[in-house]
Amino acid sequence: MFDIDKWQEIFATIQKNKLRTFLTAFSVAWGIFMMIVLLGFGEGLTNGVKYQFRDDAVNSIWISSGTMSLPYKGLLPGRRVQFTNEDFDWISRTSGTENVSARNWVGGDFVVSYKGEYGKFDIRAVNPDYQFIENINMVEGHFMNAYDQQQRRKTAVIGRKVEEALFKGKNPIGEIININNINFQVVGIFEDIGGEGENEIIYIPLSTAQIAFNSVNKINQLMFTVGDATVEESKVLADKMQAEMARRHQFDPSDERAVFVRNNYEHFNRFLKITQAITSFVWVIGLMTIIAGVVGVSNIMMIVVKERTREFGIRKALGATPMSIVGLILQESIFITSAAGYTGLVLGVLLLDVVGKAVAANAPDFTYFLNPRVDLSVALSAVLILVVAGAVAGLAPSLRAANIRPIEALRDE
Amino acid sequence: MPEMLVLKDIRKSYTMGDTRLQVLKGIDLTIEEGELVSIMGSSGSGKSTLLNIIGILDQYDSGEYRLDNTLIKNLSETKAAIYRNKLLGFVFQSFNLISFKSALENVALPLYYQKVSRRKRNQLAMEYLEKVGLGDRADHLPSELSGGQKQRVAIARALIAQPKIILADEPTGALDSKTSYEVMDLLKEVNNSGMTVIIVTHEHDIAEMTNRIIHLRDGLIERDVRPDRFISA
């Protein structure tokens, strides 16, 4: 394959036929370039959608209480639904639920202090599983555990911002902070990718909060993940929650304002389906572009062979075998298409990089389009397909050219 | 002198639409090594077809053709290409140089197909270009050369592989008479070095310069003449 003379023949031909070479190379490079750019944009959109759901576990269902809007069994509307620990226990027992937690907002104007530093932070009382429902990343220490919950221990998990505000660089693990005159021991620091506000939070065990801040067995909100359940199963589970809450709290099951069940999984899936549709659409366009490129290459190959019939006739008269003619055409075609395909690939990737960085730099809030990238193996296989297609497209005319009798080729004035 | 080329009852016909055209109707011809032969005939006499068969550029229907004691019959394209490369050198009326290759590269091309190294074949090509008096035109493209110069490049190309026979198809057909004579002088010089040269022509003055004139007519050899003055010379 590596025959330096053959390469010199090819480079000489390329050099002497610049326009033809350019046209072939352009149609290939353009096809690959468009395909890379389209796929990259599709990927950027998908990343953007995923980013919108980055805060909470995508397979979570959230139940919030509201006010009854319909009369039920002689009871008047306007009553508020109040969840209790029993609701939590029931959800925990229900099959299909994975991580289950309740959540209470504690106080409002509680001052949090540590050795002369003061601050006001959002204080949330939750269960240990909450870590997995909210996508909380522990930076140091650990989240509260079942033992903390069971023993109603006064442990606190603080956000990054809280640490910065109160501890000024000191290691907070094991230190005692004061929340509304009650001492809590810091056991962990977390970081939540959900945004700045999500990091100005202190989590304490729900059982501790119910005693310490006098909320007895009341619960504001319930949430759980559905594990490996399908979207359909998660919908069934969400409907079941609605019905059961209606039964437990005595309201009309069709009352949409008494309890709000938000199925993240269903939402996520809907968006995912949209991006999947976009991705497949982009693939179709990309493949069409590639096909256009292949057609372009085959066209040019046919013209090239026609144009060079006389030259091949001369070569054959001088002793070129048919195989050497086919080899010459194919090697030239493969060389041009791969070089051009690679160029298109590099340019496409470069453009995606520039666009991605420009979006990130100029519009950091525009999160619906993130990291437009393309899978390198996909890009390389696209180039390979084009190269092979170009070779196959060139094969038929080159075989015909190689088998034409030199006398006919030379007569072709 | 040994026999270089032996044709026995060569027949060839072409199909044109519905009619079958018998172009060669039984050619018997022997050419010895070192001969300078011209083939003459009006158009349609079959002289080009005969040359193509001799040049292994075309196949014949029946008969037998031996070239340097090798039977040339029903060869594959690959085999034919190898024989053409080793045994034959072509000179065409329309020169048939490759337009994007320089004079030197054109001359060197037959050696490329013999896998001669680039340095060696360029060196040889330069020698042959100098032999035909075009050493200073080595880097010129065919389009930058005059008709006579192009034909001399073509002759150098035909010679470089040191073939057994030079086949020239109307080598002077596209040249004025002065240049024609120069080209003929060159071909005679080649012949004097011992190489067999066969020239197809329809010009009497060109044919008169060869040692043997074969007249074709309607696909048969009409006359095979060896002018006396050459024999006595």
**pLDDT cut 70: percent of chain A above it:** 97
A127 pLDDT exceeds 70?
yes
Q: Judge whether A411 is closer than 8 Å to chain B, CB to CB.
A: no
Q: Judge whether A17 is closer than 8 Å to chain B, CB to CB.
A: yes
A142 pLDDT exceeds 80?
yes
A324 pLDDT exceeds 90?
no
User: Is A320 in contact with B113 (Cβ distance < 8 A)?
Assistant: yes
B225 pLDDT exceeds 80?
yes
B95 pLDDT exceeds 70?
yes
User: Is A12 in contact with B100 (Cβ distance < 8 A)?
Assistant: yes
State the average pLDDT for chain B: 89
Report pLDDT digits (tens) over A151-200: 999 999 999 889 888 988 888 899 999 998 899 999 999 987 766 677 88
Report pLDDT digits (tens) over A381-393: 888 887 887 788 7
**Range with lowest mean pLDDT among A48-57, A277-286, B36-45, B146-155:** A48-57
In this prediction, residue A230 has a pLDDT band, given cuts at 50, 70 and 90, of confident
The reported pLDDT for the residue numbered A85 is 92
Q: What is the mean pLDDT of residues A286-308?
A: 80
Confidence (pTM): 0.66
- In this prediction the ipTM stands at 0.87
Eight-class DSSP state of A199: G
Among A53-57, A72-76, A169-173, B196-200, the range of highest mean pLDDT: B196-200
**pLDDT cut 90: percent of chain B above it:** 47
The reported pLDDT for the residue numbered B31 is 93
Q: In terms of pLDDT, which residue wins out, A407 or A241?
A: A241
State the average pLDDT for chain A: 85
Q: CA angle at residue A227 from A222 to A231, to 5 degrees?
A: 90
Q: Are A25 and A387 in contact (CB under 8 A)?
A: no
Q: Judge whether B230 is closer than 8 Å to chain A, CB to CB.
A: no
Q: Judge whether A317 is closer than 8 Å to chain B, CB to CB.
A: yes
A216 SS3 class: coil
**Chain B residues within an 8 Å CB radius of A313:** 96
User: Is B84 in contact with A317 (Cβ distance < 8 A)?
Assistant: yes
Give A49→chain B minimum CA distance, Å.
56
Give A331→chain B minimum CA distance, Å.
17
Give B108→chain A minimum CA distance, Å.
10
Q: In terms of pLDDT, which residue wins out, A404 or A224?
A: A224
Residue B17: both structure tokens together: 């639409």
Q: What is the mean pLDDT of residues B101-129?
A: 91
- How far are the Cα atoms of A85, A143, A207, B13, B102 from residue A149, in angstroms, in the given order? 13, 11, 6, 105, 90
Eight-class DSSP state of B73: S
**Chain B residues within an 8 Å CB radius of A315:** 98, 109, 113
Q: Judge whether B97 is closer than 8 Å to chain A, CB to CB.
A: yes
User: Is B84 in contact with A316 (Cβ distance < 8 A)?
Assistant: yes
Residue B122: both structure tokens together: 């360029």
Q: In terms of pLDDT, which residue wins out, B66 or B57?
A: B66
B102 to chain A: closest CA residue: A12
Give B55→chain A minimum CA distance, Å.
9
The reported pLDDT for the residue numbered A90 is 92
Query: Dihedral sign, CA of A208, A211, A215, A216?
Result: positive
In this structure, what are the phi and psi dihedrals at residue A35, rounded to the nearest 5 degrees? -60, -45
User: Is B112 in contact with A5 (Cβ distance < 8 A)?
Assistant: yes
B229 pLDDT exceeds 60?
no
Residue B124: both structure tokens together: 């040889």
Of A165, A81, A75, nearest to A119 (Cα)?
A165
